A and B are shown apart, each in its own frame.
Chain A
């Protein structure tokens, strides 16, 4: 059975085997790319971004900005563009109709069949996608940093990325993902989007979403799984390091808070745009391509600052629900109630005046003060692993520092291409 992705299109990997790849790229101009573009090349090639086959041309960009759709009519919310300065276009001889080879870390990564060179008003793009043109919005800032021209054309991977440890087990492509679900017998899978080390508030969000997703299914066997899909991309100082995020998420399964029967951790390469509602639509698309049936959304999903209302994403999703093959699962927050003596949902407990809300930041302050957070709000196995990751990967800190940015092991590498 074909794997069907977003827009009800079959997922097709755009990847050449090495022998053919070597021939195909012989003599082509080599164009180095930065990490954002490399992340998106992977997204396109393996079908994470299906039905995209390459970087968008002007018709798609314009349609995405104005109608939240590709030119074909399929829902799409964020432009996936390849930018380049006029000087570089001249230097590499970029011409519509001619192919170039994109290189990353000095080695060939993908074939880029250039179809179109165009411009697009960046302010218009920012306003359309982010609802603001303020450059302090990180998505707008990213848009304004694009070089003056955009280049549209198809992408084919010529060299599979080598996923470095400890990330190896977590890079699961859309086609592989479906096999994993089948092996486990899951009929419904709910996505948990994260860029965090989990506290029990997150854990209960997942447990609550599992329950919501389970609904009327029989209970003779485990039929529902939670897929943690960590977004791995550009890091900012003070974020948790990637190793700590991915390993602690998986630790919830290993330590028995979940199990193999209901929990799987994976990653997707993507530089967050913080586009709030538009990012929620993008996440729905991404997880549809991963073969999921349900997607968790909390309040202010993928938002930043005060740009979006708490329910803007939910409202936007509702307008296109018929065209998305993934069902949103809305989550209320979990908190500690000393009266109940447990972590509970704000939708359940009524001891409002006694509630103690907690967040990742609050837990960080507990740790900073030299106190071990109690297991009801932060699992000891997670705590120990965070500390271990700090030593092993973080140069002493579980949070991103200048030293980490400079010396960390990249999540993936592109190695020399050998036929």
Chain B
């Protein structure tokens, strides 16, 4: 079986977009769902399992979108700040170290 790749959708609101622009990272955004800006941070199987374990509210939407959802805003802000800091979407190991 190939390694899973499960997105966490960081929806880019105005505040997040301003931070991205300030860091010169605005082009990290992808467009989704007819006009939304989003940054996809992908989890592998191990990271997905760890996230679901340490953030009990989080849910893997196995039926439709195959994405990790319902991560509280605060935690998503932490992931987003790490993206800015590292200028990369490869931040989940760092994020998980904070638990």
Contact = CB atoms under 8 A, between A and B. Distances in A.
Tell whether A and B belong to one assembly: yes
Interface of A: 300, 333, 336, 338, 341, 356-359, 361-362, 364-366, 368-371, 373-377
Contact of A369 (B11, B59, B63): B11
A341 B61 CA distance: 24
Highest count of chain A CB atoms <10 Å: which of B31, B33, B73: B33
A364 to B, nearest CB: 7
Contact of B67 (A333, A362, A375): A362
Q: Most chain-B CB neighbours within 10 Å: which of A333, A358, A376?
A: A358
The A interface, classified by DSSP as helix, strand, loop or mixed, is: loop
Contacts of B72: 368
A357 B13 contact: no
Nearest to B12: A371
20 contacts: A333-B64, A341-B34, A356-B33, A357-B64, A358-B65, A361-B59, A362-B9, A362-B64, A364-B69, A365-B9, A365-B69, A366-B11, A368-B76, A369-B10, A370-B11, A371-B12, A373-B33, A373-B36, A374-B36, A375-B34
Interface residues of B, number: 25
A144 to B, nearest CB: 25
A101 B53 CA distance: 49
A356 B30 CA distance: 12
Contacts of A336: 33-34
Counting from the closest, the 10 A-B pairs by CB-CB distance are A369-B11, A359-B64, A376-B34, A370-B13, A371-B11, A374-B34, A361-B69, A374-B35, A365-B69, A371-B13
A365 B35 CA distance: 16
Given A361-B59, A371-B13, 5 more contacts: A361-B64, A364-B70, A374-B33, A376-B33, A377-B33
B63 to A, nearest CB: 7
Contacts of A371: 11-13, 36
B8 to A, nearest CB: 9
B2 to A, nearest CB: 17
A366 B70 CA distance: 10
B32 interface: yes
B94 interface: no
Nearest to A366: B11
Contacts of A357: 64-65
A356 B9 CA distance: 12
A358 B72 CA distance: 19
A362 B33 CA distance: 11
A355 to B, nearest CB: 11
Nearest to A337: B34
Contact of B76 (A356, A369, A376): A369
Contacts of B59: 361
A361 B34 contact: no
Contacts of A373: 33, 36
B51 to A, nearest CB: 14
A365 B36 contact: no
Interface string B51-77: 000000001010111010111110010
B50 to A, nearest CB: 19
Which among B11, B12, B34 has the greatest number of chain A C-beta atoms within 10 A?
Answer: B34
A400 to B, nearest CB: 14
A364 B69 CA distance: 8
B15 interface: yes
A362 B10 contact: no
A238 B81 CA distance: 27
Interface centre among A300, A361, A373, A377 (most CB of B within 10 A): A361
